[in-house]
Amino acid sequence: MMIRVVSIVAMFAVFGAAPVWAASTPAPKNASVYIIWPPDGAVIRGGKLWVRMGLRNAGVAPKGVELPNVGHHHVLLDTDLPPLDEEIPSDRNHLHFGGGQTEARLEDLAPGKHTLQLLLGDHDHTPHDPPIYSRKITITVPPY
Amino acid sequence: MIRQIAAFMAILIFSGVALAERTPAPNNAYVYVGWPNDGEVLYADRPFRVWFGLRHMGVAPKGVDRPNTGHHHLLIDTDLPPMDEEIPSDRNYIHFGAGQTETMIELPPGQHTLQLLMGDADHMPHDPPVYSRKITITVR
């Protein structure tokens, strides 16, 4: 009896997992995301800046909007890419712009080096297939 | 006196209806042409990128009715259209209803103006309208 229950659970796990993979939103053809500003190596006095988020061959849509060829921006601050088959984390290193914003205001960057990278998420905050992310750049905030 | 009040009420009601049709814009919403710069000189026969800047507001494709969002319209060689009507769609008013935030265009030699105007889910300007400064570029 127990084994049967376990096998049913396992089947659900298998079949439940399969559609999650299949549901991964296909990336628009030739879509690319890039940081318009700041440039790699920029020195940001005061640790406050607008990050201008660029997107080519795709459109921006707020979270929850399921249309073809769209996504919303995520800024990865001082972190590597998250797992690309899961929902993008939401914390101080993974900033979501689910309102369809195309510029991100960063205000409390401590003196030192920081990395910035963009990752596009679909309506469910999951990266597309294949994932659309920018090059990672490094900026420096000089001592105040 | 009563007649005046009635007239005033009528105005309030009708203006209220008109206002209700337009999507409110965030107070500090700011749209601008990120590139090219005002006064930029560009080469003919070479498409160039126009990049749309937007602050304190988000982008949403046409038909998507979300607060504090809109989609970009690029006005080429034209003035602002009426602000209480749907934005025209022709070669002077280019719609980016798929949520695009930049485009490539090619213009014939001469002076040209570029300006951005946000439209709501129904291609109507917001209230107050969100539009950029008009810039002039030279193609030669």
The arithmetic mean of pLDDT across residues B21-50, rounded, is 95
A24 confidence band (pLDDT: 50, 70, 90): confident
Judged by a CB distance cut-off of 8 A, whether residue A70 touches chain B is yes
In this prediction, residue A18 carries a pLDDT of: 42
Min Cα distance A99 → chain B (Å) is 5
* A55, A103, A122: best to mutate for the B interface, most B CBs within 10 A: A103
Q: pLDDT value at position A19? A: 44
pLDDT surpasses 70 at A22: no
Q: What would the pLDDT profile of B75-123 be if each residue is shown by its tens digit?
A: 999 999 999 999 999 999 999 999 999 999 999 999 999 999 999 999 9
Q: Residue B3 has what pLDDT? A: 57
pLDDT at B33 over 50: yes
Q: Look at residue B2 in the predicted model and tell me its pLDDT.
A: 55
Domain range summary for chain B, segments of one domain joined by +: 2-139
Task: Give the angle subtended at the CA of B33 by the CAs of B31 and B39, to the nearest 5°.
Answer: 140
Q: Is A44 on the interface with B (CB under 8 A)?
A: no
Whether residue A102 and residue B101 make contact (CB cut-off 8 A), yes or no, is yes
As a whole number, the mean pLDDT across chain A is 89
Gap between the Cα atoms of B88 and B75, Å rounded: 10
Q: Is the dihedral of CA B7, B13, B15, B17 positive or negative?
A: negative
d(CA B106, CA A45): 37
pLDDT band at A11 (very low <50, low <70, confident <90, very high): very low
Sheet holding A103-106, edge to edge: A32-37, A49-56, A103-106
pLDDT for residue A62 is more than 50: yes
pLDDT at A3: 52
* Nearest-neighbour CA in chain A from B61: distance (Å): 6
B61–A55: do the CB atoms touch at under 8 Å?
no
Q: What is this structure's pTM? A: 0.84
Write the Ramachandran bin of B101: left for phi over 0, alpha for psi from -120 to 50, otherwise beta: alpha
Backbone angles phi, psi at B72, to 5 degrees: -80, 145
Residues pairing with B105 in the sheet: B48
Task: Provide the CATH number for the domain formed by A2-141 in this structure.
Answer: 2.60.40.10
Nearest to A70 among B52, B58, B61 (CB): B61
Q: Phi and psi at residue B38, in whole multiples of 5°?
A: -60, 130
Cβ–Cβ gap B101/A54 under 8 Å: yes
Q: Residue B115: name the closest of B33, B36, B51, B30 by CA.
A: B33
Domain segments of chain A: what residues?
Answer: 2-141
pLDDT tens for A66-94 read: 999 999 999 999 999 999 999 999 999 99
Neighboring chain A residues of B102 at a CB cutoff of 8 Å: 54-56
Count, in order, helices (H) and strands (E) of chain A.
1, 8
Over range A32-50, report the average pLDDT: 98
Does the domain made of B2-139 have the CATH classification 2.60.40.10?
yes
φ, ψ at B24 (rounded to 5°): -65, 140
Cα pseudo-dihedral A105, A108, A111, A112, rounded to 10 = -60
Question: Which two tokens mark A20?
Answer: 């999650």
β-strands B69-76, B58-59: how paired? parallel
